Chains A and B, each alone.
Chain A
Amino acid sequence: MNRALYASASGMAAQQMNLDTISDNLANADVAGFKGATMAFTEIAAPGETGLGTQPLGARTIFAQGKLEKSGGAFDVAIDGPGFFVLDDGHGRRAYSRDGGFARAADGSLRNAQGWQLTGVRIPPDALSVDVDERGSVVAATPRGRQTVGHLSLAEFAAPDGLQHAGGTIFRATPACGAMRLVVPGATDGPSVKFGMLERSNVSIVEAMVQILSAQRAYEANAKGVQAADEMMRIADNLTRG
């Protein structure tokens, strides 16, 4: 019965983690550039016929493309295809994100909601409007005429699964993801950037709701397993009393 007890307990713990991941997805379903995650589990193998329950392997990010949507922001850009925007977090460390909702700061840089700077672009103070073409060239219209004020390069990794999810839409490079490669958008088989658009999160709310329901039922079923094992132990205890 101990075996059943611990197998059920591991199942409850697994469903709890599953719920945490799904609720994080759901909470960020409206965040531009957010990538959903899914928990992976594996059986705890044991010598003999059956295993000893389940154990988590960790959350895996789904880098699938989100839908592009027209937005009202003056400096919104979306990536169509793989790749990340390269951000500077103010402490000299690089961060990567697909959230293209930028705002113009007083010093002319483009910054995301956290205030982290998009590298490679500086808007002149007298710029009237800004445009970004498919190849990532940032062109500002100023009273002196149109001038190119920067280039958007996108970061690509050999193994994006090795990126560390640093909360929200931010990722950090690790040794596991391979060297960062800067690519110029707009190549025939590469990513392109779309100005005036945002990438929606790739989380499907309907799917997440269904996942929550099934995780909840699985949790209950495992709780029943704990209950049954406990009940059987009680019966075994009573045997000796007579």
Chain B
Amino acid sequence: MSPRPSTAHVRRPAILSAAAEVISERGVQNTRISDVAERAGTSAPGVLYWFPSKDELLAEALQFSDDRFYFSLTGELAALDSATERLTRLVELWPAEGDGEAVLWIELWVRALRDPRLAEIRERLDRRWRTTLADVVREGQASGEFADADADDVALLLGAVMDGFAIQLALGDPAVTADAVQRHCLGLAEARLLR
């Protein structure tokens, strides 16, 4: 078979996008390479060429999903006028609007427990999120909207509480609504940043 570099180049994002979808729907355990191949419109060898294992596929799919998220987030945040609005938007996006996403993150956590490579990836993606939060906090401090506080500490706190609530939302706990979660998270941010 002759090499087809151009189609291989096009296929990788398509495969990752398909993988993110299928894994989100079925879970890593129940995702077969052939499922992903079918969704992506390629063959199983075509998937395996890029991703020799399912764990690799999960890690890359998450990275891909994440990159896509930040790509659209950057534009969205830039269109907002104040740090307050940007922070509010971030809190709205996760966990409340992150319904389908939460399961992917929990998959990563479970696997990171036993796979150091995935633990490293989880850590990197988490740091990225916390940096995004911390940057907005700093912008607000520079503009006078927010009080003095360690931006990284506030980012860690918000990141943790949002993840905790994301789990409860994903579990479909009737006692927990997306609305209540947002109010909790914003309340915590306000308590730390508004005086």
Mutual binders A and B? no
B residues near A, CB below 8 A?
Answer: none
